[in-house]
Amino acid sequence: MSTTEPTPDADLLQRLAALAVHAGANVQPGQFVSISAQVGGHEPLARAIAGAAYAAGARFVDVAWFDPLVKRERLLHSADEDLDVVPPWLGDRIETLGRERAANISLTGQVRPGVFADIDPARVGRDQLPALKQTAEVINRRELNWTVVPAPSVGWAQQVFPGLDPAEALRRLEADIRVVCRLDEPDPVAAWRARSDELQANAERLNARRLDAIRLEGPGTSLTVGLLPSSRFIAAGMDTVGGITHQANVPTEEVFTTPDPARVDGVVRATKPLTLGGTTVDGIEVEFRGGEVVRLDATTGADVMRRWIERDPGARRLGELALVDGDGRVGQTGTVFHETLLDENAASHIALGSAYLMCLDDEADHPRANRSAIHVDFMVGSRDVAAIGIAADGTETPLLVQGAWQ
């Protein structure tokens, strides 16, 4: 038996690695660096990032490898009652990374899409690894300078371009990644600084309106999302407690905030599929009442997603509202990437589960933010979905119409 596997473009990997280390996590000399990567496709980029991080002065680079095929063995053979077991050392490692003020770089893009498609979704939904509840805690304490970057692989490329042969699909995915990550700019790190300033200015204009709620209106969607008194929109440029500026996503085209988890009402239809622990969930429709999900339907993967939102009470409430305009590179490609990192930057989105405390200006609001072990973004925006601002007195103002800020 033999397999013939095309390999990623070495020059692209070097440029992506530099972006992850410098524009993304902004690795500092003497830092521990953790890379989260999947076995069976992320290896070349993980190694390039390790090299770039050491060259930037990293003290040690540790890769947290996740193998979807080992998880598959669990889903096939483990006892039912053990499927939500998480061994203690996985969470302890995240806590230690936080205490050590480490950098964290996560690679995304499923290397084996559909690998759990033939397994009972009730079992699939119970094993939420490699997601760990400690991650949200450490991020909310702003202990890590972190980023998420896309890792081109043959598996992912064939999911995005199913009609093409593997080598051609990989080339197409790489070309799209080059565009959305602005690697076609003469100085991609500088290009991201400029775009980040632009996004920050958009966020500040929104914050100046002192909105009480935002309504999304479009085909199949009419959802009102209440905001907390000190909710403010921010862009993915962030600072750690120690003052390290980092860009949490590469690419990033969003401004986002923490909503009031008790005031979300209406119905929302997803505009892109979502990949949840290896399962594709498509055609999502969710109804909220008093902040809580009262109905969740989907054309595929509904049972897996229902399991995720049964995890804890906060898993049924909103932790994030993000607005994305039509100026970003992701939307312009027209590609559905089947990957939250990219698809969420093509369209406005909401997330069920844990909230980002850095989006609340007043610590008095922190106890009101949503808490959960999960954070699941899904895309609800498109050119046909308008975002309307609602002031405390009920006055409505259009914010985004046809993808343009008003």
CB of 337 to a copy of itself, least distance (A): 24
CB of 349 to a copy of itself, least distance (A): 32
What gap in Å lies between CA 94 and CA 362, rounded to an integer? Answer: 27
What gap in Å lies between CA 206 and CA 187, rounded to an integer? Answer: 29
What gap in Å lies between CA 115 and CA 301, rounded to an integer? Answer: 13
Count of beta carbons in the 10 Å neighbourhood of residue 163:
7
H-helix segments, 78-221: 88-99, 121-124, 133-140, 154-160, 166-180, 188-208
CB of 137 to a copy of itself, least distance (A): 16
- Contacting positions for a copy of itself (CB under 8 A): 1-7, 32, 39-40, 43, 46-47, 50-51, 54-55, 57-63, 65, 67, 69-70, 72-74, 76-79, 82, 85-90, 92-93, 96-97, 100, 167
CB of 353 to a copy of itself, least distance (A): 23
Residue 321, CA distances (Å) to 13, 90, 138, 154, 164 in order: 32, 29, 21, 32, 35
Question: Cβ distance 298 to 285 under 8 Å?
Answer: yes
Count of beta carbons in the 10 Å neighbourhood of residue 4:
6
What gap in Å lies between CA 389 and CA 398, rounded to an integer? Answer: 6
- The amino acid at residue 258 is T
Q: Which is nearer to a copy of itself, 70 or 241 (CB)?
A: 70
Q: Which is nearer to a copy of itself, 87 or 367 (CB)?
A: 87
CB of 276 to a copy of itself, least distance (A): 21
Q: Which is nearer to a copy of itself, 85 or 241 (CB)?
A: 85
Q: Which is nearer to a copy of itself, 78 or 196 (CB)?
A: 78
CB of 92 to a copy of itself, least distance (A): 6
CA 219 vs. chain centroid, Å, equals 24
Q: Which residues, in sequence order, are CB contacts of 248 under 8 Å at separation 6+?
A: 146, 147, 148, 236, 237, 238
Q: Which is nearer to a copy of itself, 165 or 239 (CB)?
A: 165
Q: Which is nearer to a copy of itself, 5 or 197 (CB)?
A: 5
CB of 192 to a copy of itself, least distance (A): 23
Q: Which is nearer to a copy of itself, 51 or 326 (CB)?
A: 51
